[in-house]
Structure 1
Amino acid sequence: MQIKDRTFVISGGASGLGLATVRELHSQGGYIAILDLNAENGNQVAAQLGPRTKFFEVDISDPTSVATAVSSLVAWTRQTAKPLGGVIPAAGVGFPGKLIDRNNEPIPLDHLDFVLNINLRGVLDLLRLCLPHLTTAPPTEPDGERGVIVLVSSSAAYDGQPGQVAYAASKGAIRSMTLVLARDLAQYGIRAMSIAPSYFESGMTAQMSEKVRKSLEKVFEFPKRPGQGPEFARMVRHCIENGMLNGECIRLDGATRMPSRM
């Protein structure tokens, strides 16, 4: 899939890995629809990057908000005459907590819902509403490709840490549905990939304590540092541009494997 003159929808695009992806795809001539709850950041990024970028305020956990955003961004693609080329649902949250705490009390259900509604249900909701506009996009040569979906999984899908039950469940689901999406959408010329980053510098990891950050760095193989946003964004770009990448989840972790105890 050629990035130039196609529109890419990126949720969570106002910060972190989503923002890095916005900048990378924009640099390749793409039109970018940024979906995010942070209107201040989103509007600022859109203003910096110019007319090929437009911000749409959305709460990815609210179906009405998602539907409104998708309707608006589709209208924008008609104005620009730049058809949809891909969807990158990069909005995500973590809410640490074991199912049973040290006092033998179950975790509040709304803590689980908070993570699953954004990391999983919100992803499916965004995809299902964008797909009718992706399946009818003009095909490209030589394979008749219409678009690419790049999902964001996590190393937690493979070796989640204690207290990551909801997060690992959501990211494991993303990993598991990648091949299913590829099979379901093959008839339309749409590919599906997912990326499983480990510890990358992002808004989520910025909330970690210095002690936790140092503990994580001890288990890195090489390079001995957290991943950087542009490295993730280049992998997204490669997933879009390489037509033979389909139905797979790529670990982007510098060979890091998380132990059961830090």
Structure 2
Amino acid sequence: MYVKNDNDAAKNASQPRRAAGVPGKSGRAGGHREGHVVDRIGWLRAAVLGANDGIVSTASLILGVAAAGSRTADIAIAGTAGLVAGAMSMAAGEYVSVSAQADTENAEIARERGELAADPAGELAELAAIYVARGVDEPTALVVATQLMARDALGAHARDELDLSVGARARPVQAAFASAASFMVGAAMPLLAVFALPVTLLIPGVAVASLLFLAILGAMGSWAGKAGLWTGTLRVTFWGAFAMAATALIGHLIGTTV
């Protein structure tokens, strides 16, 4: 019969133990995997904004022109012009605004690079103070700051002092293309309804179809961002309905007076 002796116990104690229910190494320590989506923020915001603006602005334009008593051909021309002009405007506006954000970020990083070169000890103390303010004791904070700065001083300060992460950095070209493409897709939906519906059903048909598209867009945006499904869906649909109703009312009032 085998009897476990002290040498066996010491040998077993020296081996790393695997926690119950925790898998071994699989690319991360302890096999722990998380599904964060912070790296999607830039393009997701631009895509949702573009598609939402495309649906709302084009549908509102179509309903406003239709409520004024215009012909189907005039409504289609107005909707097409709105699609092209809106897509170009979204791309240009997004590129300019995100470029300004990128310029600010680059200027901050350049300033931080100069401060690291001029006063590394002061920057080390500043980084350690940030960790202390977050609840880390001073000795540990100093050790962590020293190790992080030894590996990537600028990256550590950009992340923890300037709150600039790689996944959330501004990308003007990506944002411009995402906004323009998503606007065109969104705008095409109510515009296609103009060609598919008879004149008698044009106004209610475009309104209902646009609200349905907005609800789908809100749900897709919430799903992609892993946020509350109903909150995003209702928010997008409500403001879209409000914009279309206001534009249709104005178009009707102008159509009856001109």
Shorter-chain-normalised TM-score: which range? under 0.3
- Normalized per residue, the structure richer in helix is 2
- What's the TM-score once normalised by structure 1's chain length? 0.23
Q: Which has the higher contact order (CA 8 A, sep 6+)?
A: 2
TM-score (norm: length of structure 2): 0.23
Q: Which has the larger radius of gyration?
A: 2
The structure that is strand-richer by fraction is 1
